[in-house]
Amino acid sequence: MIVTKTATLRDKYLTRGKILELQSLENFLLSVERRAYRIAVVSLLHREDALDAVQEAMTQLVARYRDKNWEEWRPLFYRILHSKIIDAHRKRKLQQRFSGWLGSGRDHGENDDIEDPLQNAAGPEHLAPEPRRQNAEAVAKLDVAIQRLPVRQQQAFMLRCWEGLSTRETACAMRCSEGSVKTHYSRAIHSLRSVLGDYYE
Amino acid sequence: MSEFERSMRQTLRASEQTLDNATLAELSERRRQALSAPSKRRLPIFLAPAIGMAAAAVLALLVINPFTPTDNNVTQDDYLTGNIELYEELDFYSWLAYEERSVEG
């Protein structure tokens, strides 16, 4: 009888622990999903691909890393997300090559889901039309400039500047040394400044 | 962080607040699906050699089973036929054992 009661209490405790863990995970995912989607869409220029990449990153974090310390979730999540983004790029290249061989002529770039940076970067509703338009233009210019960066510089910029990860966390997410992160990041800033310098300073 | 970097960060973070409702609903649904994913708990790495050895031991037992006959042509009946004379002359050998005991007694 005592053993059964202990087992029941233990199960209750574990269940409660699991519920708390899930709530904590849910809060974390809620806190990153918008940014993750924006990052993915800037990289992939495709709404569905971006949503898929974000979902896969969330799923993998929940399935494999829920037991990790919560402080590790952020760099882990972005590591997985960037890995999914690169997978999506590779898949797209393969599909384009395959389509080319078959001569179907269907280009992924002609898909209706392609993000128009100007369209989706509309400013906040509370702004008057003109400031909103200017804001949208600023976002669009920035998106285009980021897209033109080499992949590693893009990653370093997004993680360091946009997300605000430390150099160490960014190195963990990018699976490289802190020195490499600093190099990629400084080159990214230099490129962006040369394109956007007058606009943002 | 320079003013340039701060300005870019501000612009990018503000853009997150302007996502349309359809995208937000989609993100919410996908988050829900991700949270329902079963956990794939990873075993500690130090268990890998132990698991490998256990698997090898099981495989070895399946291949080298001491309880199976090593000669494929030998059946259970063969063990019986080797002693068939004993079974056919069982009465005689029982009587012989009895006689020997009587003599010793």
CB spacing of A142 vs B12 below 8 angstroms: yes
pLDDT in tens, A28-58: 999 999 999 999 999 999 999 999 999 999 9
Higher pLDDT, B29 or B69: B29
Q: What is the mean pLDDT of residues B11-19?
A: 92
CB-nearest to A51 from B1, B16, B30 is B30
CB-nearest to A122 from B9, B18, B41 is B18
Spatial distance between the Cα atoms of A53 and A30, rounded to a whole number of angstroms: 15
pLDDT at B30 > cutoff 90 = yes
Q: Which residue of A has its CA nearest to B19?
A: A120
Lowest mean pLDDT among A16-20, A30-34, B10-14: A16-20
**Token pair for B81:** 């036929």
- b/e sequence A67-87, b meaning 16+ C-beta within 10 Å: eeeeeebbbbbbbbbbbbbee
Spatial distance between the Cα atoms of A148 and A27, rounded to a whole number of angstroms: 33
**Token pair for A148:** 């033109």
Phi, psi (degrees; rounded to nearest 5) at A183: -65, -50
CB-nearest to A34 from B2, B19, B33 is B19
Nearest CA among A65, A66, A41, A68 for reference residue A54: A41
E strand intervals along B19-95: none
CB spacing of B37 vs A59 below 8 angstroms: yes
Average pLDDT, chain B: 75
Is residue A155 within 8 Å of A169, Cβ to Cβ?
Answer: no
Q: Which residue of A has its CA nearest to B9?
A: A162
Spatial distance between the Cα atoms of B13 and B8, rounded to a whole number of angstroms: 9
pLDDT at A109 > cutoff 50 = no
Residue among B31, B32, B40, B41 with most chain A CBs within 10 A, to mutate: B31
pLDDT in tens, B40-67: 655 556 666 777 787 788 888 877 766 6
Nearest CA among A93, A90, A123 for reference residue A109: A93
Q: What is the mean pLDDT of residues A174-193?
A: 95
B42 inside 8 A of chain A by CB? yes
Spatial distance between the Cα atoms of A150 and B29, rounded to a whole number of angstroms: 32
B22 inside 8 A of chain A by CB? no
In the structure, what pLDDT confidence band is assigned to residue A118 with cuts at 50, 70 and 90?
very low
Q: What is the mean pLDDT of residues A2-7?
A: 60
Higher pLDDT, A3 or B30: B30
Q: Could you tell me what percent of chain A has a pLDDT over 90? A: 52
Q: Is the ipTM of this complex over 0.85?
A: no
B63 inside 8 A of chain A by CB? no
In the structure, what pLDDT confidence band is assigned to residue B84 with cuts at 50, 70 and 90?
low
Q: Which residue of B has its CA nearest to A56?
A: B34
Is residue B18 within 8 Å of A121, Cβ to Cβ?
Answer: yes
pLDDT at A200 > cutoff 90 = no
Query: Which residues on B lie below 8 Å from A47 (Cβ)?
Result: 23
